[in-house]
Amino acid sequence: MIRYALKCDNAHEFDSWFASAVAYDSLKAAGHVACPTCGSAEVAKALMAPRVALGQGDLTTPHSDAEKALADLRRKVEENSEYVGVNFVAEARKMHEGTVPERSIYGEAKPAEAIKLLEEGVPVAPLPFMPARKSN
| pLDDT one-digit tens code per residue, 24-48 | 998 999 888 998 889 899 999 987 6
Chain segment 76-91, per-residue pLDDT in tens: 999 999 999 999 999 9
Residue 123, SS3 per DSSP: coil
Confidence (pLDDT) at 94: 96
Mode of pairing for the β-strands spanning 82-85 and 13-18: unpaired
Distance between CA atoms of residues 120 and 118, nearest Å: 5
For the stretch 84-96, what's the b/e string if a residue is b when 16 or more beta carbons lie within 10 angstroms of its beta carbon? beeebbebbbebb
Domain extent for 72: 59-119
The answer to whether position 35 is within a domain reads: yes
- 127 domain-assigned: no
Per-residue model confidence (pLDDT) at position 55: 53
Domain count, the chain: 2
Of 41, 2, 35, nearest in space to 18 by CA: 2
Amino acid 133: pLDDT: 59
Residues 41, 63 within the same domain: no
Same domain for 37 and 68?
A: no
